Amino acid sequence: MPGGTDLTLRPFLWRAEKLYSDQEIVSRTSEGITRYDYAEYADRVAQLANALDELGIEEGDRVGTFCWNQHLHFETYFAAPSMGAQLHTINPLLPAEHIRYIVDNAEDKVLFVDPSLLPALEPAVQSPEFDHVKQFVVMASEVPETDLDVVAYEEFIAGHDTEYDWPDVSEDQPAGMCYTSGTTGRPKGVEYTQKMLWAHTMESLTPQGIPMADDDVVMPVVPMFHVNAWGMPFTATAAGAKQVFPGPSPDPADLAGLIEEEGVTITAGVPTVWLGLMDYCKNNDVDISSLDTVIVGGSAAPRSMVEWFDDRDIELLHAWGMTEMAPIGSVAHLKSDLESADYETQVDHRVKQGLIVPGLEFKVLDDDGEEIAWDGEEFGELLVRGPSVTTEYFERPEANEEDFEDGWLRTGDVVTVDPEGYLKIVDRAKDVIKSGGEWISSVELENAIMAHDDVAEATVIGVPHEKWQERPVAFVVPVEGADRDAIPEGVMDLLREEYPKWWLPDDVVFIDEVPKTATGKFSKKDLREQYTDMEAFEGKTPDDAAPEQDD
Ligand code: AMP
């Protein structure tokens, strides 16, 4: 096949550079607001590729990033894949042990680190899991104080040519990688080939995806370490749109300020982010009227949120997806025949997870492996397939056997499908908790709690929470004669040693016995039913106990 006919990412940047050379890219970093255009961006992408070349990065090597949403991170997005290397975005909010495992498993050759995340990385770097990393590059113009042997990004690319002889990369070449923690075992690596990312970009750009145009101003709040910020830096480039990167841990005031000052038209994030912005708007005089569309995903969008944005003439688009899907799978657009329905009926549909995007297929199987009826009542596990959906995990044959079936991905989401084809998630097959858009493993917490001398049995479930969607609560059976008063703090101390603050349960509740299934396994169903009363836990989560990116 002649070169240049494969489905790859580089033509998206080529087009933006040629057709929209003076379109802006704006970035909030720890050093202030930076702005430049696609022409300069493309020059710097080439400089970065040359610098990586000189470091010895070759086709197939993994380039790790440990960064917030900012322009330097965005430069790695096109440089690494376009030279045939693989961009591996790492979630800095994970427990340290998970980060060590991920860096080791991926064998990252170079690691780009946000200056604000250096302290989090310093202790981990001493461990052998980081031995593959040849170079640490700090995303800044100067190296901050650190014990690590690092180079500043600007120094790393300085003096390098602004042209690069881009190779004809195959569409099957891995271009990206992201680990998913939405799993009961160790995080699982998902590799994105050039073709998957190309397909995802095109699926997203259709009118039934997340359409954008060259007069849009696109601000992904969803972190760039979460499946490439839902692919938005790629789609916005393909569309020639202005891009705004909100930087490290943006708070509602930062977001409102950027929306107003930069005229943001499309933004995206988990529900917790928008609850924060809605609250901020109540008490402050802010103008968010430039917004046309707010994409809400990662967890279910509440009905009240849809209505709040409707009242301001801003469209909330509810989207569902997974790391394994690069990630967008469905978007709750209104079908044209529902345009004439009453408002309540329309919102009923818009709060569902929505319509599969063009390019993908799905089926829903009940416990007997039979396809369910599309009646909005029957439910089963959702399976998906398509060119942007992975067909395997990285080096995890045992997980492949469990999660893939004849080329279909088993999502673990239990859904209904209504006669119009709208998917609605009604349950989750896996034992995990999603708080503020980040996964918490209940199994890991349970095992850690059961290591406490005074705990006979423990189980952890997710309970609904208004701000964080779900929070973990521990249920503990004390050993006979134990000092019950000392157990909750003892348990928390134990967990604090290993896990970030936002993993700690909101409460430790004593029970006489953990309910069991017929085969003696913990049955959480009963506890879940008993504790779905969110009022019981309202307000118990301290504000600083949650994933940092949502603050
Ligand atoms: P992740 O791989 O971390 O992106 O998580 C994917 C999982 O998040 C899905 O399988 C769902 O369980 C959940 N999820 C994603 N989007 C939504 C949504 N809009 N509503 C409810 N759950 C969602």
Residue 439 annotated as catalytic = yes
Quote the ligand 1 centre to 407 CA distance (angstroms).
Answer: 20
Inside any domain, residue 346 = no
Q: Which of 81, 36, 39, 55 is nearest to 155 (CA)?
A: 55
Quote the ligand 1 centre to 389 CA distance (angstroms).
Answer: 14
Quote the ligand 1 centre to 319 CA distance (angstroms).
Answer: 9
Q: Is pLDDT of 548 > 50?
A: no
Inside any domain, residue 454 = yes
Amino acid letter, 319: A
Kindly report the protein residue whose alpha carbon is nearest to atom 7 of ligand 1: 322
Residue 540 banded pLDDT, cuts 50, 70, 90: very low
Q: Is pLDDT of 120 > 60?
A: yes
Residue 528 banded pLDDT, cuts 50, 70, 90: confident
Q: Which residue has the higher pLDDT, 124 or 367?
A: 367
Q: Residues 86, 175: contact at Cβ < 8 Å?
A: yes
Average pLDDT score over residue span 65-71 = 97
Average pLDDT score over residue span 517-534 = 75
Q: Which of 178, 188, 434, 549 to mutate to test the pocket of ligand 1 (most atoms within 8 A of CB)?
A: 434
Average pLDDT score over residue span 144-161 = 94
Q: Is pLDDT of 147 > 60?
A: yes
Inside any domain, residue 316 = no
Q: Is pLDDT of 541 > 60?
A: no
Instruction: Report the pocket of ligand 1 as residue ranges, CB < 6 Å.
Output: 180, 182, 297-300, 318, 320-323, 327, 353, 411-413, 425, 428, 434
In this predicted structure, what is the pLDDT of residue 524?
A: 84
CA distance 37 to 45: 12
CA distance 7 to 45: 20
CA distance 230 to 234: 9
pLDDT in tens, 36-49: 999 999 999 999 99
Mean pLDDT lowest for which of 152-161, 301-310, 459-468, 531-540? 531-540
Q: Which of 365, 347, 454 is nearest to 417 (CA)?
A: 365
Across the chain, mean pLDDT equals 93
Q: Alpha carbon 62 to chain centroid distance?
A: 19
Domain CATH number, residue 521? 3.30.300.30
Residue 434 annotated as catalytic = yes
Measured from the Cα of 412, ligand 1's closest atom is 10
Q: Which of 294, 320, 430 to mutate to test the pocket of ligand 1 (most atoms within 8 A of CB)?
A: 320
Range of the domain at 465: 431-545
Mean pLDDT lowest for which of 87-91, 229-233, 276-280, 536-540? 536-540
pLDDT in tens, 416-466: 999 999 999 999 888 889 999 999 999 899 999 999 999 999 999 999 999
In this predicted structure, what is the pLDDT of residue 1?
A: 64
Q: Which residue has the higher pLDDT, 147 or 16?
A: 16
In this predicted structure, what is the pLDDT of residue 430?
A: 84
Mean pLDDT lowest for which of 133-137, 429-433, 487-491? 429-433
Inside any domain, residue 270 = no
Q: Is pLDDT of 538 > 60?
A: no
What is the number of domains present in the chain?
1
Kindly report the protein residue whose alpha carbon is nearest to atom 11 of ligand 1: 413
pLDDT in tens, 245-273: 999 999 999 999 999 999 999 999 999 99
CA distance 169 to 74: 20
Quote the ligand 1 centre to 320 CA distance (angstroms).
Answer: 6
Residue 4 banded pLDDT, cuts 50, 70, 90: confident
Q: Residues 491, 507: contact at Cβ < 8 Å?
A: no
In this predicted structure, what is the pLDDT of residue 343?
A: 98
Mean pLDDT lowest for which of 129-143, 320-334, 358-372, 382-396? 129-143
Kindly report the protein residue whose alpha carbon is nearest to atom 8 of ligand 1: 298
CA distance 24 to 344: 39
Q: Which pTM value belongs to this model?
A: 0.93
Percentage of residues in the chain having pLDDT higher than 70: 96
Inside any domain, residue 213 = no
- Residue 483: burial class (beta carbons within 10 Å; 0-12, 13-18, 19+): exposed
Catalytic residue among 439, 468, 502, 503: 439
Average pLDDT score over residue span 489-509 = 95
pLDDT in tens, 272-286: 999 999 999 999 999
DSSP one-letter code for 202: H
- Residue 72: burial class (beta carbons within 10 Å; 0-12, 13-18, 19+): buried
- Residue 481: burial class (beta carbons within 10 Å; 0-12, 13-18, 19+): exposed
pLDDT in tens, 196-237: 999 999 999 999 999 999 999 999 999 999 999 999 999 999
Q: Is pLDDT of 109 > 90?
A: yes
Inside any domain, residue 512 = yes
Inside any domain, residue 527 = yes
Helical H segments across 84-152, by residue range: 96-106, 118-125
Q: Is pLDDT of 173 > 60?
A: yes
CA distance 483 to 490: 11
Inside any domain, residue 550 = no
